[in-house]
Amino acid sequence: MRNLNDSNMKIGIDRRSFLGTIGASAAAALAGVLSISAVAEPSVQAHISGRRKLGSLEVSTVGLGVQNMSRKYETTVPYRPEMIDILRAAYDHGVTFFDTAEAYGPLECERILGEGIAPFRNKVVITSKFGWNIDPDTGRFQMGLNSKPDHIKRAVEGMLKRLRTDRIDLLYQHRVDPQVPIEDVAGAVKDLMAEGKVLHWGLCEMGPNTLRRAHAALPVTAVQNEYSMLWRGPEEVVIPICQELGIGFVPWSPLGVQFLTGAIDESTRFAPGDIRSAEPRFSPENLKHNLQLVKLVKLWAERKQAAPVQIALAWLLAQKPWIVPIPGTTQMAHMIENIAGSSVTFSQDELHELNASVSSIQIQGKRLPDGVLALSGVEAAPKS
């Protein structure tokens, strides 16, 4: 049997699968991305290679998304001790950047992360997110968004308890509340910073004008948006703004909700409740066309002697030196496989070739259901 703690372990992927369910609200639909199963033979270093900066915040080159460690999309509950083991093994393999949110669980993933990192809390960077109308005490979704200053402060108090810490290194607004001026949000975060409870802040899936206003009110450390070979929308406006303002960029769903693992073919059909069954890009009529991208990733995996997921992550890392992906998983082998993507590199000629090939494939179909997509790119209310 292979030792999962061997930093030179050869790992890869033959098959992955994942089932999902959409909750009653858009918030539930966004509550996580799941990775499942794997075994192949690419040879790359299974330890984080290098470190990066999000603004002034230094983190590992690849982070770990803690989204599905309390409940998977198919409603099964992962074995909690295994999730703790994965978190601690990630740290042993060089991960110092752990991402979660009050919406994941809700609340429970913060508890799992807090327990998992307790032995080395002061040596890692943790994030969480506010913005949904969630009761901070019970975790009950009350539908909609809530970024009122008093709610933000109450939410953070709950996060600190669940995460077993006295500060949150990076606090994001999960989605923009169109009813609350972003300047008021920044003011609440600034108060929390003055109390030492928050060190840095960021935004997720915001409108570009809101990002500029937020940064003017209180310097933004990082933006978190969906970004991968499958969805390259941020390249148009958001990433250029980040570059202009010196803001780091954290891609969520860096593996394209597992599309880039190489497990899906044109005969794949998603089970009822699987979130991908509601995403137009995975409809039968679009899937066949979009699989051109998977074929490309597999070709490069063979060429670089790496797993497809490692090519997908290495491609993101090659785009900008201040991009830090946060793939999530509930499987030990996948965690190790993912972080090994940081050791895959491209020459300038290789990157130019790969970028040109990726650009030549026009993905068909929207990335999310309309109800969820409507929460992205939102601009905050003007400050009166």
pLDDT band with cut points at 50, 70 and 90 for residue 45: low
pLDDT band with cut points at 50, 70 and 90 for residue 7: very low
Token readout for 50 is 């290098």
Token readout for 214 is 């937020």
Return the half-sphere exposure (C-beta side, CA atoms, 13 A cut-off) of residue 154: 15
Token readout for 282 is 């995975």
- Compute the average pLDDT of residues 365-379: 96
Helices 80-92 and 332-339 pack at an angle, to 10 degrees, of: 20
pLDDT at 39: 34
Long-range contact list for 112-116, CB < 8 A, 24+ apart? 112/66, 112/69, 112/70, 112/80, 112/83, 112/84, 112/87, 113/66, 113/69, 113/87, 113/163, 114/162, 114/163, 114/164, 114/165, 115/84, 115/164, 116/83, 116/84, 116/86, 116/87, 116/88
Q: Check if the beta carbon of residue 98 is closer than 8 Å to that of residue 123.
A: no
Dump pLDDT digits (tens) for 155-175: 999 999 999 999 999 999 999
- Compute the average pLDDT of residues 116-127: 98
Q: Which CATH class is domain 26-262+308-345?
A: alpha beta
Residue 51 reports pLDDT greater than 50: yes
Which positions ≥6 away from 373 have C-beta within 8 Å?
A: 366, 367
pLDDT at 203: 98
Q: What percent of the chain has pLDDT over 90?
A: 77
Residue 13 reports pLDDT greater than 50: no
**Tokens 């570009």, residue?**
208
What is the pLDDT of the chain when averaged over all its residues?
Answer: 88
- Compute the average pLDDT of residues 356-361: 98
Whether the CA torsion 10, 12, 17, 21 is positive or negative: it is: positive
Dump pLDDT digits (tens) for 211-244: 999 999 999 999 999 999 999 999 999 999 999 9
Q: Give me the active site residues, please.
A: 104
Its pTM stands at: 0.88
Parse the chain into domains and list their residue ranges.
26-262+308-345
- Compute the average pLDDT of residues 59-69: 94
Residue 74 reports pLDDT greater than 80: no
The region of weakest confidence among 206-210, 237-241, 267-271, 283-287 is 267-271
pLDDT band with cut points at 50, 70 and 90 for residue 42: very low
Residue 58 reports pLDDT greater than 60: yes
For the chain, count helices (H), then strands (E): 12, 11
Count of other CB atoms within 10 angstroms of residue 192? 22
pLDDT band with cut points at 50, 70 and 90 for residue 85: very high
Which of helix, strand or coil describes residue 55?
Answer: coil
pLDDT at 218: 98
Count of other CB atoms within 10 angstroms of residue 58? 12
Residue 16 reports pLDDT greater than 80: no
pLDDT at 313: 98
**In what helix (H) or strand (E) does residue 163 lie, and over which residues does it extend?**
none
Which positions ≥6 away from 278 have C-beta within 8 Å?
A: 22, 29, 369
Q: Check if the beta carbon of residue 328 is closer than 8 Å to that of residue 34.
A: yes
- Compute the average pLDDT of residues 276-289: 93
Which positions ≥6 away from 277 have C-beta within 8 Å?
A: 20, 270, 271
Whether the CA torsion 227, 232, 238, 243 is positive or negative: it is: positive
pLDDT at 71: 63
Residue 115 reports pLDDT greater than 70: yes
Instruction: Kindly list the distances between the CA atom of residue 176 and the CA atoms of 207, 287, 311, in Å, as whole numbers in the listed order.
Output: 8, 31, 32
- Compute the average pLDDT of residues 253-270: 91
pLDDT at 68: 77
Which positions ≥6 away from 25 have C-beta within 8 Å?
A: 141, 143
pLDDT at 75: 59
**In what helix (H) or strand (E) does residue 74 lie, and over which residues does it extend?**
none
- Compute the average pLDDT of residues 267-296: 91
- Compute the average pLDDT of residues 305-309: 97
Q: Check if the beta carbon of residue 13 is closer than 8 Å to that of residue 329.
A: no
- Compute the average pLDDT of residues 136-149: 93
- Compute the average pLDDT of residues 67-94: 85
Token readout for 364 is 């068909």
Return the half-sphere exposure (C-beta side, CA atoms, 13 A cut-off) of residue 149: 12
Residue 66 reports pLDDT greater than 90: yes
pLDDT at 72: 59
Residue 21 reports pLDDT greater than 60: no
Q: Check if the beta carbon of residue 39 is closer than 8 Å to that of residue 299.
A: no
Residue 311: alpha-carbon gap to chain centroid: 17
